[in-house]
Amino acid sequence: MVLVLAIGDLHIPHRAADLPPKFKSMLVPGKIQHIICTGNLCIKEVHDYLKSLCPDLHVTRGEYDEDSRYPENKTLTIGQFKLGICHGHQVIPWGDLDSLAMLQRQLDVDILITGHTHQFKAYKHEGGVVINPGSATGAYSSFTYDVNPSFVLMDIDGLRVVLYVYELIDGEVKVDKIDFKKTATTHATH
Amino acid sequence: MIADGVEDEEKWLAAGIAGLQQNAFYMHRALDSNNLRDALKYSAQMLSELRTSRLSPHKYYELYMRAFDELRKLEMFFKEETRRGCSIIDLYELVQHAGNILPRLYLLCTVGCVYIKTKEAPAKDVLKDLVEMCRGIQHPVRGLFLRSYLAQVSRDKLPDIGSEYEGDADSVVDAVEFVLQNFTEMNKLCYTACQSFILLADPELRLAVGLSGLQGPAREKEKREKERSELRDLVGKNLHVLGQIEGVDLDMYKDTVLPRVLEQVVNCKDELAQYYLMDCIIQVFPDEYHLQTLDVLLGAFPQLQPTVDIKTVLSRLMERLSNYAASSADVLPEFLQVEAFSKLNNAIGKVIEAQPDMPTLGVITLYSSLLTFTLHVHPERLDYADQVLGACVKKLSGKGKLQDNKATKQIVALLSAPLEKYNDIVTALKLSNYPRMMEYLDSETNKVMATVIIQSIMKNKTRISTADRVEALFELIKGLIKDLDGSPDDEVDEDDFKEEQNSVARLIQMLYNDDPEEMFKIICTVRKHILAGGPKRLPFTVPPLVYSSLKLVRQLQSQEENPFGEEESTTPKKIFQLLNQTVETLSNVPAPELALQLYLQCAEAANDCDLEPVAYEFFTQAYILYEEEISDSRAQVTAIHLIIGTLQRMHVFGVENRDTLTHKATGYSAKLLKKPDQCRAVYACSHLFWVDDQDNIKDGERVLLCLKRALRIANAAQQMSNAARGSTGSVTLFVEILNKYLYFYEKGNPQINVAAIQSLIELITTEMQSETSTPDPAADAFFASTLRYIEFQKQKGGAVGEKYEPIKV
């Protein structure tokens, strides 16, 4: 059982002052093995905070990030899964699942994690899963008027990944659960 | 034998100890053989070492402690003797035969203790006897130590209430009387001792009395000072004893103890002793006693020497009372009943008046303690707190900005106290003298205080909800908002500066009101202040203001337009005008990339409000920035992505406007520096001509044109690579374009046919197998998963399956 936190688009301090206190109290160090961050933190203090939750932190660059050295996209392997990260402002049209699926094929990953729209999404297609953890602070987004703070916790266990979606709606934390199973087909090798 | 002439304390001490130990040895022998006479003889000889005048108090103490230890053994022996039937009264008699008075008195005290323990006489009588007899020693150091010995050994034998030595009624009075008398005498002796040390510090005098010159003035002075304070400690112990006598209730304290002690304090006229003893009184006796005797206590201050550090004593008194008030709500009525606040306030006023040269630090410390006191005891009385601040301001007026580090630290403590107590900057803002106090801070300290204020707001999630309060708040924190001294502060550490400005940015998020009119006023107020911040601050402060404004626009949209609304009321249009002017200021920094991003955000918001000219204007500004200010190739790529992504979502533009903007965007894309970037930007532009949810934007031809152009660029990239490196490079770009072909094919673009897709697949396959191509596993995997996708779509069946059927992989 490997816990992976997918979080992003905090936009601190431009669009939000801090994480919601109810989220902060849930995110404690030592419980999570990896953190995947889609970008737009935006400042070093947020980076340090995430690092304090878990030293294995992977961040991709959002257009407002102070640190320009974050990569445009990143891939990593956790257990049986290959994961890809990209902020998403580079994939046009923004939020378009087919275009995101193309990126997924390009990175050759089972799970693609991207952000930018501040809308939670979990979408399964033949190539794998596309996840958007939304904005952890519920920051303003030109994409949608209705932004609830949200993040995703993935529990990777063998060929199965369970997504726990945490959303702050009207002051209460609501949790949803989504199951994905990877078929054990091997990719055609060249 | 002790040599005359040259001072050598160590030698004398060593000699004294040797003599003491030798006689102690013989004393022990006598005790072991039950020889009372010899024991007394040798103990007297041993105690004679304490008759020396040559030792400083510090060294004398060492000798005294050894004697003390030996006397304990003697005391035990006396106890044994009385148990064996020896009469204690006889013993008491016997020891008085000792030749010299000092040994005699030490022995008497020792026997006296045993006497009290036998209970053959009331404790009070024995004690009275002893304390009177000690008058026989008037030498300061010897007398102090003798009386100290008496105090030490009698400590647990006082006729206190509940003790086994309690005699008839009122015996507590006797206990108190004994301790007070000892204290009084010790105080006098101490004063004499200290005076002579002051004299002995004078080098000429020392030579005159045959002592050597000083080792070094500062060190000597320090040594003497330490010794004087050690002597004072001996005196102070009596007060500790008094504090622990159970029977000393409030009445006895008020009527007997306090007046007598204060009398001694005032009469001794030694500034350091007065300071020490006043402080001792405050620390030793219970706080409720102090409350009830506040008049008397405060009344003593003016009678002290003018050089006494009264402010520290007063501060410590107020501190104790504050803690007392904080300890339990039950005690608060007491404070009100004795009118503690006004008494302390007056006392402080008098002290400051009487000491016009008091340094600023002292004044602030006093008012700081009083403020803490007020906050604890009268938390609802904002007027009291304001009064205290006002008095402090008055005292500081005319002094200009403070330079003293400690003083400024103390002001920060003073100003932080209301914040911590009220947990609410809004309440603190109600204190009219609060901002006036901040005027006296230099710009460094203003920043520190401003940070404290912001932290308090963030911690308590205080919402500042009116423009007036925002105005007041920004006035307070102006050290962070702009350069106060007129010239920019070059010494500020960059990281610190960033942290400061980020905290201001976070603060801006906390300024909010549901009412749009008020919110607009707040935005205008904030804008006014941050625009004075200068180019270094704008990149931090402008973005949060922009987003607050955009949120307000959304809020206005959701409300119904009031056709009878006044001319003055806030509209999205007005806000956009303000936004335009605000983002413009970033050109002074310069921060073109940030400005471009913000313009595009505003454009999208204008789009949502159906304000075509406004949106067009924002796009124009963004394009101008791109053309004129953004030259870094990486920055250009990001900017292009944002431009294309935003433009793709716009629905408010008419055909002409959209065409102009799209044409420009594709032009920029084709001119990016690196070929792969060009290629990707150009095929991204294809989406500008095909928007799913807008039927009038589905221009299949122009989509194909873009894709073909992208292909040409990809080809050119291959050729360049071949020429430069001898190999054709990766086929990734082709695979990407293939995916885009498939995308539009699926969407139903009539211009994209199977043949085009097929030939592209073949092209890629050929390229990959060619000898000149660079092997690229990533590209291979990409191509493989694309082909898999095609297969999958075929198997879906239905309309999709039909479409994909003819494609051969």
For the residues of B621-654, what is the DSSP string, one character each?
Answer: HHHHHHHHH---HHHHHHHHHHHHHHHHH--S--
Cβ–Cβ contact A171 with B under 8 A: no
Q: Within B201-246, where are the H helices?
A: 203-208, 217-244
Q: How far apart are CA B54 and CA B8, in angstroms?
A: 9
CB distance from A20 to chain B under 8 Å?
Answer: no
B315: nearest Cα among B270, B351, B262, B273: B351
Stretches in chain B below the pLDDT threshold 70: 1-7, 167-170, 197-217, 398-403, 485-491, 560-568
CA B537 to CA B589: how far, in whole Å? 9
User: Contact at 8 Å (CB) between A139 and A111?
Assistant: no
pLDDT (mean) for A130-154: 93
The pLDDT score that the predictor gives to residue B538 is 94
Q: Which of A102, A118, A189 to mutate to test the interface with B (most CBs of B within 10 A)?
A: A102
pLDDT tens digits, B391-423 = 888 887 766 666 677 787 888 888 888 888 888
Got the DSSP string for B499-563?
A: HHHHHHHHHHHTB--SSHHHHHHHHHHHHHHHHTT-TTTHHHHHHHHHHHHHHHHHHHHHSPP-T
Give the chain B residue nearest A64 (alpha carbons): B594
Chain B interface includes A74 (CB < 8 A)? no
Peptide bond into A42 cis (omega under 30): yes
Residue count of chain B: 809
**Kind and range of the H or E run holding B657:** helix B655-670
Q: Smallest Cβ distance to B687: which of A44, A90, A92? A: A92
Per-residue b/e over B239-262, b at no fewer than 16 CB within 10 Å? bebbbebebbeeebbeebbbebbb
Per-residue model confidence (pLDDT) at position B799: 86
Binary contact (A142, B601; C-beta < 8 A) = yes
DSSP letter (8 states) at residue B690: B
Q: In what order do the strands lie in the sheet with A81-86?
A: A73-78, A81-86, A111-114, A128-133, A120-125
Backbone angles phi, psi at B391, to 5 degrees: -60, -40
- Using an 8 Å Cβ cutoff, are A84 and A112 in contact? yes
A2 touches chain B (CB under 8 A): no
Q: Which of residues 38-57 of A touch B (CB under 8 A)?
A: 43-45
Tokens representing A57 are: 């932190």
Query: Which domains, from first to last, does chain A contain?
Result: 2-181 (3.60.21.10)
Rounded (5°) CA angle B662-B590-B470:
105
- B743/A98 CB distance under 8 A: yes
Contact B502 A64 (CB under 8 A): no
For residue B450, which of B477, B470, B471, B475 has the smallest C-alpha distance?
B477
- Return residues 124-143 of A near B (CB < 8 Å): 126-127, 140, 142
Q: Quick check: B339 and B321 in contact, CB under 8 A?
A: no
Residue A187 is nearest to which of B547, B646, B781, comparing CB atoms?
Answer: B781
Nearest to B592 by CA among B550, B548, B636: B636
CB–CB of A176/A167 below 8 Å? Answer: yes
CA distance A179 to chain B (A): 22
End-to-end CA distance of chain B: 119
**Distance (Å, whole) CA B658 – CA B774:** 41
Tell me the C-alpha distance between A62 and A67, whole Å: 9
CA angle A163, A164, A167 (to 5 degrees): 135
Asked if A82 is an interface residue toward chain B (Cβ–Cβ < 8 A), one would say no
Cβ separation B785–A105 shorter than 8 A: yes
Of the candidates B596, B459, B605, B450, the one whose C-alpha atom is nearest the C-alpha of residue B529 is B450
The span from the CA of B340 to the CA of B292, in Å, is 9
DSSP state of A42: B
| CATH (residue range B674-808) | 1.25.40.660
pLDDT one-digit tens code per residue, A38-85: 999 989 999 999 999 999 999 999 999 988 899 999 999 999 999 999
Query: Closest Cα of chain B to A16: distance in Å?
Result: 6
A173, A22 Cβ separation under 8 angstroms: yes
Can you give the length of chain A in residues? 190
pTM for this model (two decimals): 0.78
Cβ neighbours of B786 in A, within 8 Å: 105
3-state secondary structure of B166: coil
Amino acid at B397: S
Q: Give the residues across from A151 on adjacent strands.
A: A166
Alpha helices in A74-117 (DSSP H): 97-107
For tokens 């949209």, the residue is B557
By Cβ distance, the residue of A92, A105, A187 closest to B645 is A92
Q: How many interface pairs between A and B have CB atoms less than 8 angstroms apart?
A: 102
HSE of B801, CA atoms in CB hemisphere, 13 A? 4
The pLDDT score that the predictor gives to residue B198 is 66
**Whole-Å CA distances, B503 to A22, A47, B331, B510:** 21, 16, 40, 11
Q: Closest partner residue to B544 among A13, A99, A190, by Cβ?
A: A13
DSSP code per residue over B740-756 = HHHHHHHHT-TT--HHH
Looking at residue B545, what is its pLDDT?
95
pLDDT on residue B423: 80
3-state secondary structure of A80: coil
Q: How far apart are CA B516 and CA A147, in angstroms?
A: 20
Q: Which two tokens stand for residue B514?
A: 């549901």
CB contact under 8 A, B550 and A18: no
CA Rg, chain B, in Å?
45
Q: Concatenate the DSSP letters of all residues of B363-425 into one string.
A: HHHHHHHHHHHHHHH-TT-HHHHHHHHHHHHHHHTTS-S---HHHHHHHHHHHHHHHHHHS-H
Respond yes or no on whether ipTM tops 0.90. yes
Q: What is the mean pLDDT of residues A30-45?
A: 93
